[in-house]
């Protein structure tokens, strides 16, 4: 007989592979929400209701309200629920205190890129039940594959300014209607409500395709990292070695598990697995766990970047200085190592803010590989440098008298074809000799290789010698990359 968790896992496997989440905008501009009023209460029959004159606002009204007087903005709208409306009481409203002037708060500055204003869930059901997921700050804001939800019976105003011209998402739900087609949503944006609800320099565009990769997709919000973090205030931490998760604005106390995967890994299934195996346990009640695919930039010897590699980052934080997190990290690692082959996990490691981490052996193996690569890269940089010197890109001033020449030692210059020198009308000093290459057996084939290329890159004219600068040659590697 199948247990419910197995059923759930099975169901998830059948439902699909997409790894999109639902992200719901928290604030609203509802008449009934007392946080929207400066007196922190909804105005009643003796009150004067005032909307900021110059502000644009779309207000959702759910029921009927008595007012004494209402001052409206220049541009705005009420979205009335069926049966909702306003009426004026003659005389005093007995259920209402002495009349006051109550102002509707300004919602102008609420930004799309503020991670505190969103909550995320794996399903719409979870969203309604309040089962929210923890995410790093970048992914609290809707990712390019996410479904964006504005609460059904509510209106809002959001500043959609970002560093890009558009904000791509999968779908947007407004007032209970889900927009999945680009043209339909563009039409909504240009409607009266659309213009009052969305403002700012970037346009939200729906219809972005699903993430087709079962192992997950990158969120795509790194380009806005600075803006996202500008609204975040980091708490001071009490742990020994705080960790900075990729995509997060602040360091955290807790643990980060890094998972390397192969084909067959399914992020959504794995997220559910961790939930059912561990997060439901009472001892992990205070745990917050966020799981996402990230592209970590690879560095050789800690400095030289060479591309990125995808991995799964599991961020675990708790309210107890990361002690529970470390326990969970160890549990996840155990599970990954014993059950990993059926999950598509090839390797897992963790780092905790206590300074503990998974066994060091894996790390040192990586170090060896890194060092070997580092040495190789170092050698190729030197080769490139010599190459550039040979081609005249890097040139030492020939008038410098202090340059030591080492004619007695066999150096690269002795491999240089004499034609090269004759072309330039005499022995011009092209640079310095690199002593590392003064061992002739190290690079025996180098001179021939460079000599032929040199022929194409130097030309003589009346006015002087011209060099083709390989730095601007399309075929060359970009050394700043």
Assess 109 for contact with ligand NAG (CB under 6 A).
no
Contact assessment for residue 157 and residue 197, using Cβ atoms and an 8 Å cutoff:
yes
Query: What's the burial of 220, exposed, middle or buried (CB within 10 Å: 0-12/13-18/19+)?
Result: buried
Kindly report the backbone phi and psi dihedral angles of residue 337, in degrees, each rounded to the nearest multiple of 5, phi listed first. -80, -30
**Least distance in Å: CB of 327 to ligand NAG?**
7
DSSP β-bridge partners for residue 9: none
Quote the crossing angle between the two packed helices 323-343 and 267-274, to the nearest 10°: 130
DSSP β-bridge partners for residue 316: 255, 289
Distance, in Å, from the CA atom of 473 to the CA atom of 248, rounded to the nearest integer, reads 38
Size of the site for ligand NAG (CB under 6 A): 13
Of residues 10, 35, 92, 449, which one binds ligand NAG by CB under 6 A?
35
Whole-number Cα distances in Å, 450 to 166, 252, 442: 48, 52, 15
Q: In this chain, which stretch among 26-34, 83-91, 196-204, 291-299 interacts with ligand NAG, using CB under 6 A?
A: 26-34
Of residues 20, 22, 28, 198, which one binds ligand NAG by CB under 6 A?
28
- 49 vs 352, beta carbon nearer ligand NAG: 352
Contact assessment for residue 103 and residue 52, using Cβ atoms and an 8 Å cutoff:
yes
**Least distance in Å: CB of 156 to ligand NAG?**
9
- 206 vs 243, beta carbon nearer ligand NAG: 243
**Least distance in Å: CB of 71 to ligand NAG?**
22
Q: In this chain, which stretch among 133-141, 192-200, 334-342, 452-460 interacts with ligand NAG, using CB under 6 A?
A: 334-342
Assess 339 for contact with ligand NAG (CB under 6 A).
yes
DSSP β-bridge partners for residue 349: 258
Give the distance, in angstroms, between the CA of residue 210 and the centroid of all CA atoms in the same chain.
17
- 188 vs 278, beta carbon nearer ligand NAG: 278
What count of Cα atoms within 13 Å lies in the side-chain half-sphere of residue 274?
Answer: 27
Of residues 222, 354, 357, 434, which one binds ligand NAG by CB under 6 A?
354
Of residues 8, 203, 323, 451, which one binds ligand NAG by CB under 6 A?
323
Assess 338 for contact with ligand NAG (CB under 6 A).
yes
Interface characters, 202-221, with ligand NAG (x: CB under 6 A): --------------------
**Least distance in Å: CB of 360 to ligand NAG?**
12
DSSP β-bridge partners for residue 30: 60
**Least distance in Å: CB of 355 to ligand NAG?**
7
- Cβ neighbors of 24 (< 8 A, separation 6 or more) are 118, 119, 120, 121, 127, 148, 149, 150, 151
Q: In this chain, which stretch among 23-31, 76-84, 375-383, 470-478 interacts with ligand NAG, using CB under 6 A?
A: 23-31
Instruction: Give the three-state DSSP class for 287.
Output: coil
- 50 vs 107, beta carbon nearer ligand NAG: 107
Assess 193 for contact with ligand NAG (CB under 6 A).
no
Assess 27 for contact with ligand NAG (CB under 6 A).
yes
- 129 vs 334, beta carbon nearer ligand NAG: 334
Distance, in Å, from the CA atom of 256 to the CA atom of 244, rounded to the nearest integer, reads 9
Distance, in Å, from the CA atom of 269 to the CA atom of 17, rounded to the nearest integer, reads 9
- Cβ neighbors of 72 (< 8 A, separation 6 or more) are 51
What count of Cα atoms within 13 Å lies in the side-chain half-sphere of residue 199?
Answer: 15
Kindly report the backbone phi and psi dihedral angles of residue 252, in degrees, each rounded to the nearest multiple of 5, phi listed first. -130, 160
Assess 254 for contact with ligand NAG (CB under 6 A).
no
Of residues 5, 17, 33, 395, which one binds ligand NAG by CB under 6 A?
33
Q: In this chain, which stretch among 46-54, 56-64, 312-320, 331-339 interacts with ligand NAG, using CB under 6 A?
A: 331-339
**Least distance in Å: CB of 83 to ligand NAG?**
18
Instruction: Give the three-state DSSP class for 418.
Output: helix
Residues near ligand NAG (CB under 6 A): 26-28, 33, 35, 323, 326, 334-335, 338-339, 354, 356
């Amino acid at each position: 007989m199948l247990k419910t968790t197995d059923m759930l896992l099975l169901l998830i496997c059948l439902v699909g592979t997409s790894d999109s989440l639902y992200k719901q905008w928290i604030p609203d501009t509802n008449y009934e929400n007392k946080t929207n009023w400066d007196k922190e209460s909804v105005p009643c029959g003796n009150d004067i209701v005032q909307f900021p004159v110059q502000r644009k606002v779309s207000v959702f009204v759910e029921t009927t309200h008595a007012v004494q007087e209402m001052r409206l903005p220049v541009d705005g709208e009420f979205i009335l629920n069926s049966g909702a409306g306003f009426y004026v009481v003659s005389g005093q409203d007995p259920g209402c205190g002495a009349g006051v002037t109550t102002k509707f708060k300004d919602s102008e500055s609420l930004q799309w890129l503020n991670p505190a204003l969103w909550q995320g869930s794996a399903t719409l059901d979870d969203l309604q039940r309040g089962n929210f997921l923890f995410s790093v700050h970048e992914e609290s804001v809707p990712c390019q594959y996410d479904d964006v939800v504005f609460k059904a019976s509510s209106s809002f105003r959001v500043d959609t300014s970002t560093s890009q011209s558009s904000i791509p998402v999968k779908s947007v739900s407004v007032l209970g209607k889900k927009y999945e087609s680009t043209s339909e949503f563009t039409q909504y944006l240009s409607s009266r409500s659309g213009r009052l609800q969305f403002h700012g320099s970037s346009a939200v565009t729906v219809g972005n395709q699903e993430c087709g990769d079962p192992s997950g997709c990158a969120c795509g919000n790194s380009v806005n990292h600075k803006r996202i973090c500008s609204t975040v205030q980091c708490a001071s931490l009490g742990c020994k070695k705080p960790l900075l998760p990729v995509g997060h604005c602040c360091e955290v106390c807790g643990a980060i598990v890094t998972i390397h995967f192969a084909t067959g890994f399914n992020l959504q299934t794995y997220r559910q697995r961790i939930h059912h195996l561990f997060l439901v346990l009472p001892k992990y009640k205070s745990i917050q766990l966020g799981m996402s695919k990230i592209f970590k930039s690879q560095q050789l010897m800690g400095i030289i970047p060479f591309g990125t590699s995808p991995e799964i980052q599991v961020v675990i934080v708790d309210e107890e200085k990361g002690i529970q997190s470390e326990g969970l990290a160890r549990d996840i690692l155990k599970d990954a190592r014993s059950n990993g082959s059926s999950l598509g996990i090839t390797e897992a490691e963790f780092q905790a803010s206590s300074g503990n981490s998974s066994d060091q052996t894996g790390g040192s193996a990586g170090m060896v590989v890194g060092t070997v690569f580092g040495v190789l890269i170092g050698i190729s940089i030197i080769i490139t440098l010599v190459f550039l010197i040979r081609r005249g890109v890097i040139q030492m001033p020939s008038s410098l008298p202090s340059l030591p020449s080492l004619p007695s030692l066999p150096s690269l210059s002795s491999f240089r074809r004499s034609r090269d020198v004759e072309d330039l009308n005499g022995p011009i000093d092209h640079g310095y000799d690199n002593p590392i290459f003064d061992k002739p057996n190290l690079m025996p084939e180098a001179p021939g290789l460079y000599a032929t290329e040199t022929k194409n890159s130097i030309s003589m004219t009346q006015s002087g010698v011209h060099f083709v600068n390989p730095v601007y040659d399309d075929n060359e590697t970009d050394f700043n990359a």
